[in-house]
Amino acid sequence: MPSPQLLVLFGSQTGTAQDVSERLGREARRRRLGCRVQALDSYPVVNLINEPLVIFVCATTGQGDPPDNMKNFWGFIFRKNLPSTALCQMDFAVLGLGDSSYAKFNFVAKKLHRRLLQLGGSALLPVCLGDDQHELGLPSKFTLLFLQEAPSTGSEGQRVAHPGSQEPPSESKPFLAPMISNQRVTGPSHFQDVRLIEFDILGSGISFAAGDVVLIQPSNSAAHVQRFCQVLGLDPDQLFMLQPREPDVSSPTRLPQPCSMRHLVSHYLDIASVPRRSFFELLACLSLHELEREKLLEFSSAQGQEELFEYCNRPRRTILEVLCDFPHTAAAIPPDYLLDLIPAIRPRAFSIASSLLIHPSRLQILVAVVQFQTRLKEPRRGLCSSWLASLDPGQGPVRVPLWVRPGSLAFPETPDTPVIMVGPGTGVAPFRAAIQERVAQGQTGNFLFFGCRWRDQDFYWESEWQELEKRDCLTLIPAFSREQEQKVYVQHRLRELGSLVWELLDHQAMPSPCQRTSRKP
């Protein structure tokens, strides 16, 4: 399969736009993306109809005039006889380089962006406007307008889908599901903490089938939020309004207006993630401390990638920990740049481990709590699994933002089609949902290969499987890898019993007790 091709076209008067374009070209090639970089007037503009992906980098000169090396292109692109579908095959982005002290700030970039849309091009993002007057060259995407006092009406909160709503829960409007139980299902001496968590989805409008997944929006721990605010010198209770700098940019739907700094850090900024190279690039621009800035520039350079990997990626050092290592820089970060610097927390997907036919208005998941050690003193912890494990509905009401989407697993609808399922460890979760659903519908021929370490430590749903076996609704083939000298895994059981399973499949003519006592959906 041919690699995608990027074309970077620039209009430059003093060389700045050309320098930026060549840097874009280097970054593209570093990411294995084929890239050409050309001045606009040296490119045969009639070929633009065949270009799938183009970035335009253009300066503005004089009183809103294009640079000399794009004037021919400028005259051609504004011909009135060009059809409105001329560039319908092209995805594009426009980066303008200008000076806000001039009346026609970035006039060329703005006008070019509108014209490309008129000709059928598809914009990858709103026009980007660099400002030579700005201390960083590129202003922040948002401005935080701090409020002196709390507004008299309204309250801070997340946009959520309310019970009885006609609109199904989604990422922009999740359902705040009450947590019913949070039970550890591995033995106390087992190395892995695995939780069976149940939610009440009554009135949510959520519906799902076996194989579907639930997405959960996690939050940062209170201790991490407090530490972050201390390092950056932020008041957690400070309220602000988030205002986009450009009219085409909208505020994140997950953030309320007004919003507190605590809410922003707790529910939106992914301070527990491992930072990318671009994080160090922007942090270096924001740094006022000479020694720290020098190190940040080294980390963001091509020559410093090996050292950056050893410092950050190999030990899985988080954004919060990096900021603690660069305290002078962290304390000087303008709040306006927080959303440019730190990515948003992404939802985590979990296989649904229950069926609505057996557990109406309930949704269950099986969660392995992620924790491991690197050379850093503090253990590495999974954000979502650790957050879920910390929630205790026995201490008071707990609500978790979630929504459901179709999964990639599909099960046969015909009752006489047998299914062989292989689910080692927590991978058995979606098959538990499928078995519950199939048994409730009277479907037989359920074969489950399950693997774990110890029968008495991590044999999930052992009693449930045994009860289904007694009713001839399930054939269970377990493998316990640590209960004998020679390790036995699921794949060994598959090789040993594969022929036996096929033999059993050939004798499915007689109805089983499972069929005779099945529940109707």
146 is in an annotated binding site: no
482 is in an annotated binding site: yes
490 is in an annotated binding site: yes
**Over the stretch 381-434, which tens digit does the pLDDT of each residue have?**
999 999 999 999 999 999 999 999 998 888 887 777 888 888 888 999 999 999
Backbone angles phi, psi at 182, to 5 degrees: -145, 90
253 is in an annotated binding site: no
CA 83 vs CA 77, 92, 116, 117: distances in Å = 11, 18, 11, 12
Residue 272 confidence (pLDDT): 97
The reply to whether domains 5-131 and 419-505 share a CATH topology is yes
318 is in an annotated binding site: no
Question: What architecture is the 175-205+350-405 domain classified under in CATH?
Answer: Beta Barrel (2.40)
pLDDT by residue for the chain (521 residues), tens only, comes to: 566 689 999 999 888 899 889 889 888 888 888 899 999 999 999 999 999 999 999 999 878 889 989 999 999 999 999 999 999 999 999 999 988 878 889 999 999 999 999 999 999 999 999 888 776 667 888 999 999 876 655 455 566 666 656 688 999 899 999 999 999 998 888 888 999 999 999 999 999 999 999 999 999 999 999 999 999 999 999 999 999 987 767 889 899 999 999 999 999 999 999 999 889 999 999 999 999 999 999 998 889 999 999 999 999 999 999 999 999 999 999 999 999 999 999 999 999 999 999 999 999 999 999 999 999 999 999 999 999 999 999 999 999 999 999 988 888 877 778 888 888 889 999 999 999 999 998 888 888 888 878 877 888 989 998 999 999 888 888 888 777 666 666 666 666 665 555 565 555 544 555 554 443 33
285 is in an annotated binding site: no
212 is in an annotated binding site: no
Q: Answer yes or no: are the C-beta atoms of 251 and 242 closer than 8 Å.
A: yes
Listed residue (175, 179, 177) closest to 198, CA to CA:
179
Q: 167 pairs with which residues across the strands? A: none
99 is in an annotated binding site: yes
351 is in an annotated binding site: yes
Please enumerate in sequence order all residues whose Cβ is within 8 A of that of 385, keeping only pairs 6 or more positions apart, or say none.
348, 367, 368, 369, 370
207 is in an annotated binding site: no
**Over the stretch 457-502, which tens digit does the pLDDT of each residue have?**
888 989 998 999 999 888 888 888 777 666 666 666 666 665 555 5
85 is in an annotated binding site: no
Please enumerate in sequence order all residues whose Cβ is within 8 A of that of 270, keeping only pairs 6 or more positions apart, or say none.
319, 342, 343, 344, 345, 346, 383
Q: Answer yes or no: are the C-beta atoms of 9 and 59 closer than 8 Å.
A: no
12 is in an annotated binding site: yes
Determine the Cα–Cα distance for residues 161 and 397; give it in Å rounded to an integer: 18
103 is in an annotated binding site: yes
444 is in an annotated binding site: no
62 is in an annotated binding site: yes
Residue 248 confidence (pLDDT): 67
Please enumerate in sequence order all residues whose Cβ is within 8 A of that of 160, keeping only pairs 6 or more positions apart, or say none.
169, 173, 174, 175, 176, 401
426 is in an annotated binding site: yes
450 is in an annotated binding site: no
Domain 5-131 grouped into CATH 3.40.190.10: no
C-beta atoms surrounding 198 within 10 Å: 20
132 is in an annotated binding site: yes
350 is in an annotated binding site: yes
Residue 517 confidence (pLDDT): 44
491 is in an annotated binding site: yes
Q: Which CATH number fits domain 419-505: 3.40.50.80, 3.40.50.20, 3.40.50.800, 3.40.50.150?
A: 3.40.50.80
489 is in an annotated binding site: yes
173 is in an annotated binding site: no
C-beta atoms surrounding 364 within 10 Å: 22
295 is in an annotated binding site: no
Domain boundaries, the chain: 5-131, 175-205+350-405, 222-341, 419-505
Domain 222-341 grouped into CATH 1.10.1740.10: no
488 is in an annotated binding site: yes
Q: Answer yes or no: are the C-beta atoms of 325 and 289 closer than 8 Å.
A: no
